[in-house]
Structure 1
Amino acid sequence: MNKRILYFAVIALLACGCNGCKDNKDSSEYITVSPDAGTTYKSGDPVSFSVKYPADVKPDSVVYVMDGKRVGSSNDSTAVTLKTDTLILGARVITAKVYHAGQAQEFTTNIVLLAAKAPEELTFKVEKVYGHDTSSYTEGLLFQDGYLYESDGGRVADGEGQSSLRKVDLATGKPVKKIDIDPKVFGEGISIVGDKIIQLTYTERKGFVYDKDTFKLLSTFENNVGIEGWGMTFDGKKLYMDDKTNRIFFLDKDTYRQTGYIDVYDDKGAVNQVNELEMIDGKLYANVYQTDDILVIDPKTGAVLQKIDMKALYPEASRNANADVLNGIAYDKVTNRIFVTGKKWDKLFQVKFVKK
């Protein structure tokens, strides 16, 4: 047989097998779920779920489940509408459980939920300038009891210097207490919980717990939450940490195990490389690595509420030699002061965020 004729004969048989033999197939194979996978919505938009099926399928009921939680049901193809204003942002998986003739079949789709509106644009005013130790590759920064606490990153094997944990005098920018950590480990974000300092590591998937006053290492823990350890903060009840993606994890303050998460989105899509974190008046403030932006994030939904353009704070052309990117936000609750700095910067700035 001519190869060309054989080719078209095979194609014809495949077409029949896929499309032309519907009568030999279970009708449930032609059930579809709406909306289409990947459809985007803004937070607050109603989302209508429905199932379409051929005339010979008459389901007893259809139950809709989002991320494991029931959100509605129907006895026919009537749509079920879900409010989205309180949902966390990001990809949400929807499963339609179709009950028919004593059996149940599941059909899935997904939506992507974005922030309801574009973040408000803010800028800043510099209120005071302090010194900052240029040997510190700032990974974590916080303020408590009149001092800055700082995690300085680096790994000796990579030629970056040794990571350290520091207690810093605000007026001089110099450490009043400092310990170097394991030279094989790259230190990252820190938080204070009671009388302990918690420190993340970069790719080592472990965390350190220190006595706040003496810096004595009390214990270590396995960090199996994110792909990497980046920023960290504490709201008085739970810890938050990120891992270079747009995900911020919730951790138990005593066990350091994951209890939940949010994904950071603005009105356009996911915002990745969320880095150093600080909690200020119930909102998460976050550096975005390799940018001059600070984000204000809703800790309940992940929505970017405000974006602060810090480009003019310390222009690259004016910075000290070896200065790297903006990173480090600390908040003094007592005096309502906000401090920001960068990796190996010679300055730390007291700032106020204002509308443009």
Structure 2
Amino acid sequence: MHFGQKINQLKTLLFIAIVISLASSCSNSSTKATYRSFISPLVGLNVKSGNDFDVKILFGKENKVDSVVYLIDTVKAISKTDTTAIKLTTTDLKLGNHLLTAKIYNAGESEDLTSNINILAAKEPDLYTYKVISKLPHDTSAYVEGLEYHNGFFYEGTGEKGSSDLRKVNVQNGKVLQRARLDTALFGEGITIIGNKILQLTWMDKKAFVYDKDTFKQLAELTYNREGWGLAFDGQKILTSDGSNTIYFLDKDNYQQIGSIDVYDDKGEIRSLNELEYIDGKIYANVYQTNTIVIINPENGAVEGKIDLTGLFPVADYFKTDDARGNNVLNGIAYDQAGKRLFVAGKKWPYIFQIQISRVK
């Protein structure tokens, strides 16, 4: 017998053994109902926040059950004594993915069925356009990762290995007044001002730094166990992004995570959230490598507005290589609370723009 023939014979014998084993198993459990799956909702169903959704399960030969308990995530939603269809509401659910479990009890035994739904924003976001109020000079060597306006000055966190720093900048002429350079092996990211301190992230280096706002003296080096992208401060807690559709909340004193929101519009998740700014009770976020800033409800993650900044700066004309055009995109949002002025920037752009936005839809 050839070796290949012997292998095929062994495969055949193994297959026969499996069939016999399955037949025996089915015979031994022939009196037990087999619950198969959810008919509704199908896995990954999108449901707008506030809407109800249908729930129905498909079960096996026996339709007699003692009870069915439905859970959303780990919280009991409803209990029934049969498997007839029901409706569940999304009113109190956070945006994002939720696990649905039907726990079926019969004759002292139980079986779990699972599905999941995605909760989207309840309505389409408002659309905004812009008007340029002024153009302010900006250092074209600054790969902008974080931008803040505070007491009449810009504060910038810049990126790229070998060039990353923290800087204080004259608003009117773009002159760098104060600087703290990062180690050349580090890639700087977002910054935010928290009282008399400045927090700065690094991209993939698992480090963050705390500085004295006035002297730029480094006060602490922190371990930061996710990618660093954007930062903002809402007066109570720190907001941070990591390029996903999640915004994390950190304690302002010990920098530990205390919560999060997942960001969705009425169509789906909004990923690549980058530089952040907290403005009049809303979170503004650059969507990386786009001309869009989204306006986010900090309570539930719903995108309530989108600002289209197409045409603000001719990246394709100014940067002459594909690599430069792809990298030096819109990034940087700062707000003058007292003067109600909104500023936006881009990586290595020659200007920081003061803009005024207006709703178009």
Unaligned runs of 5+ in 2: none
Superposed displacement of residue 111, structure 1: 0.9
Matched, 1:124 2:130: yes
* Aligned position for 2:348: 344
CA contact (8 A) 1:320 1:345 kept: no
CA contact (8 A) 1:73 1:80 kept: no
Query: Are 2:235 and 1:229 equivalent residues in the alignment?
Result: no
Between 195-204 and 264-273, report the one with greater CA deviation. 264-273
Does structure 1 retain, via aligned residues, the 8 Å contact 2:35–2:111?
no
Instruction: Choose the corresponding residue for 1:134, options 140, 143, 146.
Output: 140
SS in 1 for 2:219: strand
Q: Which residue of 2 aligns with 1:39?
A: 45
Cα distance per residue 1:250-280 (max 9 Å; x no partner): 1121222222222222222222211111111
> Which secondary structure state, in structure 2, belongs to the residue aligned with residue 136 of structure 1?
coil
What's 2:260 paired with? Answer: 261
What secondary structure does 1:311 align onto? Answer: coil
Q: For each residue in 1:159-199, what CA deviation from the matched residue of structure 2 results, as whole angstroms up to 9, or x when unmatched?
A: xxx21001111111122111101211111011111111111
Of residues 58, 77, 87, the one that matches 1:71 is 77
TM-score by length of 2: 0.86
| C-alpha separation in 2, matches of 1:131 and 1:316 | 16
Alpha-carbon deviation of 1:24? 3.3
1:329 aligns with 2:333: yes
Q: Deviations over 1:210-244 (max 9, x none)?
A: 111111111122212x3x11011111111111111
Matched residue SS, 1:210: strand
Letter aligned with residue 269 of structure 1 = G
Does residue 168 in structure 1 map to residue 174 in structure 2?
no
Length, aligned pairs only: 348
Deviations 1:112-150 (A, max 9, x none): 222223322211011111111111100001111111111
Q: Give the match's secondary structure for 1:245.
A: coil
Identity %: 45
1:54-84 CA distance string (max 9 Å, x none)? 4646444333222323333223224453322
Tell me the distance in 1 between the aligned counterparts of 2:151 and 2:260: 30
Residue correspondence of structure 1 range 262-341 to structure 2 within 5 A:
262-319=261-318, 324-341=328-345
RMSD: 2.8
1 CA distance for matches of 2:78 and 2:36? 19
Structure 1 CA distance for aligned equivalents of residues 90 and 151 of structure 2: 41
What is the distance in 1 between the residues matched to 2:79 and 2:191?
45
Q: Output the CA distance in 1 between the equivalents of 2:261 and 2:184.
A: 33
